[in-house]
Structure 1
């Protein structure tokens, strides 16, 4: 595989979507066509870090990165294994209509004021559904546009998106913690082990991570595992084995967590994707 592979999935008058896969050996393309306009990046596999001057954003599943037109970002890959993201671009007038003013800089130009937002579980499920539908060619343009706009609306909406931020030092601690967890999704970390890896006390780590990310460490790790499950569900036969590979103690544990997060069981989600393939075929 090339270091950076771009697969165009959709292009209409108002929406464009790309599936972007990086093997981790090079920078994310700085000359990609979407760089000309503001766009949203939805990581769904692996982890990478984006630098905007002195600011950085850890890009992993469960986040959306907001990118401004004409901005060149530096990237690096602290965790091996590569990464993949869905890039969504919406026509600027419509994107302006969808974006709450609080997320924009003052002035006439369209400029995001934040680097990234956290997503809720339903928005993460929409990322997977949109990607599977477009990759398999089972979504008509109107349906695909609707899915993409629903995803953007839910991602930017004040009820489901939360600015991920705190003091610089606490944000960096949270980001280092994310790198530790993402390095081995199947490992059943203890709080003391994670704290030792990032060089702080367990109590301080617990309090700081919850303050910065608005959820406890164990919930964050669960979200990482479930996001990886979303990415792989349509292409695996043994769901029990998938759950074990992702660190769940049993298939029932995996199924219950998935059901609670996404409103349907892993088998129901997989069957829905397969059924859409068959209808299209």
Structure 2
């Protein structure tokens, strides 16, 4: 039995979009894998670690992971439950037109000199709308292609993405903090809790996280919780129960945070996705 299931949602000359779910049975590094064309991968559920040589990336909903064409990589799953991602590929010409030149290994090849970019809430919402629309079958090809290109443009935009900063060692410490948060997304963590598990002081953790990720730790955690909500809102769920599961004190607290990030309430998002 394969460890993952890849479901094609859109296959046109402009773009291909796959919904990929992995059971996460491989706790240690997997055998080498590769893709024939460069993919941008948007994780919307769970977490895994993407390995390219010595470099490691914690793949979760605040990041777009880049799989370069013909570049060997491995994956591992630190927690049970696996992950689910939206994996997108497009033609070399389109990708070169959308990508900033200094993100590329060479100006005439659709391969990147980095393995991930942090994405903003608008990018997460675009990915969720694309996935829900294609899965529920109410989005035609032209609309889906247009939204896919907008998603790629946003993910690669210099004003809307953020490349990691800091040394390899500092990135490793920040990744440990990410994994601590991912281990229990609904828990009301304190800085002392996280810092103790990472092995640094709370002051150093907050300073380091902002330097490497480009946003405060509390904002990162909120964005992770709201991204999980984008996934769950594709189902008919009790919104108050969802809010409490994600660590919010009430539905109104959740709804206010969601609206500030995405410009609409959770209920409005569900209606746009034709869930309600």
TM-score range, shorter chain: over 0.9
Q: CA deviation at 1:39?
A: 1.3
Q: CA deviation at 1:212?
A: 0.5
Q: CA deviation at 1:110?
A: 2.8
Cα distance, 1:256–1:48 mapped onto 2, change above 3 Å = same
Q: What whole-Å deviation, never above 9, does each CA across 1:171-195 have from its counterpart, x for those lacking one? A: 0000000000000011001100101
2:22 alignment counterpart: 22
Kept in 1, the 8 Å contact 2:42–2:85? The answer is: yes
2:104 alignment counterpart: 104
2:177 alignment counterpart: 177
Kept in 1, the 8 Å contact 2:92–2:109? The answer is: no
Q: What secondary structure sits across from 2:274 in the alignment?
A: helix
Kept in 1, the 8 Å contact 2:48–2:83? The answer is: yes
Kept in 2, the 8 Å contact 1:44–1:227? The answer is: yes
Cα distance, 1:262–1:30 mapped onto 2, change above 3 Å = farther
Whole-angstrom distance in 2 between the partners of 1:237 and 1:172 = 36
Q: CA deviation at 1:234?
A: 2.2
Structural RMSD (CA): 1.7
2:204 alignment counterpart: 204
Mind listing any 5+ residue stretches in structure 2 that lack a counterpart? none
Cα distance, 1:72–1:267 mapped onto 2, change above 3 Å = same
What is the 5 A alignment of 1:5-16? Answer: 5-16=5-16
1:43 alignment counterpart: 43
2:150 alignment counterpart: 150
1:235 alignment counterpart: 235
Q: What whole-Å deviation, never above 9, does each CA across 1:126-172 have from its counterpart, x for those lacking one? A: 01000001111111111110010000001101111111231111100
Q: CA deviation at 1:223?
A: 0.7
TM-score by length of 2: 0.95
Mind listing any 5+ residue stretches in structure 1 that lack a counterpart? none
Cα distance, 1:196–1:263 mapped onto 2, change above 3 Å = same
> How many residue pairs align between the two structures?
274
Q: What secondary structure sits across from 1:95 in the alignment?
A: helix
Q: CA deviation at 1:30?
A: 5.9
Please identify which structure carries the higher helix content.
1
2:226 alignment counterpart: 226
Kept in 2, the 8 Å contact 1:4–1:29? The answer is: no
Q: CA deviation at 1:31?
A: 5.7
